[in-house]
Amino acid sequence: MALIDTYSQPLSSEQVAHLLRRTTFGATPAQLKEWTGKKVDEIVIQLLASQPTPAHPTLKDGTTFHNLSWGNNAATDADRNTYDGNARKQLKYWWIGLMIKQPVSIIEKMTLFWQNHFVSTTTEASDARFMYRYLQLMRKYALGNFRQFVIEVSKDPAMLKYLDNDQNTAAKSNENYARELQELFTIGIGNYNEDDVKAAARVLTGWRTIGYRDITKPDIGTEFRISQHDTKDKVFSIFYQNKTIKGRTTATAGEEELTEFIDLILAQKATALFIVRKFYRWFVQAEISEQIEKEVIEPLATIFRKNYEIKPVIEALLKSQHFFDVNLLGSQIKSPLDLVIGTLRTFNYQLPDPLTDRLTFDNATTYFFTRAREQQMEVLEQPSVFGWRPYYDTDFYEIWINSTTLALKGSFTDIIVKGSTSLKLTFDSIALAKNTSNPKEPYGLVKALTQPLFAVVLSDEQNKYLVEEVLMAGQPYYEWITIWTDHIDDPNNNNKKTAVKSRLDRLFTYLLRLAEFQMG
């Protein structure tokens, strides 16, 4: 059976958890229960369904990102930097909020994929309105047409700022965007040469931003200036079959030449293969064997090349026999965002509504954003145009783990169990135990509590250790029956309640620090 044939069996809870870990930031208990036993077609339809546009981000005073103002014309650069810096932070916190509250939808994870692919950062763009517009573009085309996506990204003001294409003129060429467009965004290194970079840069001359930090221009965007465009012919190398893009002199020259160049890129088989490999590494695993290249990547690239629609490729991958291979469960190390957001969703954290409790919303999103940032994954701030290292470097996901980040991950999960009043974060370990089928039986209880937490199944030896050394801390395992029953029979007795909760909290603290919890 072909690896990309559709998986036809009803999904187990482990398979549903796997699917939702990879496509969202983890399943809530209700989602896991709802989708277990369903066919993959039904879940993927929901995952890929269109979603309503989220409400605009706002500053603390209620100002929307469409009405940002850097003050009057007398405002100093320092004032403008402070104002914009605060706005950029709010944009990041707003996105963290969307991740926490996401429905069963791939949109947030797919938007993050593209933002890490077509990298632009708030620091380099340095205009919150530009970055919001850019993020909307990532969301709009997350499952759309890749051809149109690349065209629009190439004209996006945040991208023009980030890779200096707003400085690219006929008189003084800037090759930054022309290079990265080919190397990182479309066809991949080894499929073009330096002459192609130079020719592409000439194609891309003349684009400028509109409204950059300009209070006199509420509308932002880009414009094409023919006076700064290289109107001569652009000749490409053998990699592009020595094609020539005819120089143009009209006001539509920029759009026409850009579109023609993107079509040149998409005509090459290497482009579809390059993008599909990135999908695979993001959603499945880092290593691509010869078999996977032949039986997964190449067939998916064939689908992609039909019209460069993104959605059919992702659908085929997520529904495939290969995606549910038992060896792929837990084959990634969770990213900081997967760890932070996923842990919250696993324990059904309810983020306060920013309209009714802005203070707690800000406290919470700031806190969770900071926890991901200190683990080396700050949203909208990749360290380079290559994106976050674990998605391109030779060690891939293992890069997320080092002595510093591992300690920070443990500190974060400890807080989850302890709870936080300022975040309205509570952890009811007793309620979690009550939701299992037989909470007074310690071995069955521990197995039931660990199952939704881990992508891999713990061994009987591990389960035994968790009961005897963690839950019971060396006491005979059978004493749990008495401890639990005493609490259930007298639930208002604080001493009996504490006897149960302290043991369960110790267990969860330990579980969330296990190496297995880092696997997704």
Each residue's pLDDT tens digit, 36-47: 999 999 999 999
Below-70 pLDDT ranges, the chain: 1, 70-75, 215-217
Pairing of strands 244-245, 207-210: unpaired
What is the pLDDT, as a whole number, of residue 219?
81
| CA–CA distance, 127 with 255 (Å, rounded to integer) | 24
Domain end point (choices 267, 297, 315):
267
Domain end point (choices 221, 236, 267):
267
CA dist list (Å): 492 to 338, 498, 503: 37, 11, 18
Residue 253 falls inside a structural domain? yes
What is the pLDDT, as a whole number, of residue 276?
98
Structural domains in the chain (count): 2
H-type alpha helices, 237-378: 253-266, 269-283, 290-292, 298-307, 310-318, 336-346, 358-374
| CA–CA distance, 298 with 293 (Å, rounded to integer) | 6
List Cβ neighbours of 3 (8 Å cut-off, separation of 6 or more). Answer: 292, 295, 296, 320, 321, 322
What is the pLDDT, as a whole number, of residue 78?
81
Domain with 467, as residue range(s), is 429-518
| CA–CA distance, 367 with 4 (Å, rounded to integer) | 40
What is the pLDDT, as a whole number, of residue 62?
85
Residue 296 falls inside a structural domain? no
Q: Length of the chain in residues, anyone?
A: 520
List Cβ neighbours of 375 (8 Å cut-off, separation of 6 or more). Answer: 336, 339, 340, 400, 405, 408, 409, 412
| CA–CA distance, 178 with 163 (Å, rounded to integer) | 9
What is the pLDDT, as a whole number, of residue 74?
56
| CA–CA distance, 308 with 147 (Å, rounded to integer) | 6
Residue 472 falls inside a structural domain? yes
What is the pLDDT, as a whole number, of residue 385?
97
Residue 488 falls inside a structural domain? yes
Residue 434 falls inside a structural domain? yes
Residue 63 falls inside a structural domain? no
Residue 419 falls inside a structural domain? no
What is the pLDDT, as a whole number, of residue 71?
60
| CA–CA distance, 298 with 316 (Å, rounded to integer) | 12
| CA–CA distance, 302 with 308 (Å, rounded to integer) | 10
Residue 470 falls inside a structural domain? yes
**Token pair for 54:** 């989220």
User: Residue 146 — φ and ψ, nearest 5°?
Assistant: -65, -35
Domain end point (choices 216, 238, 267):
267
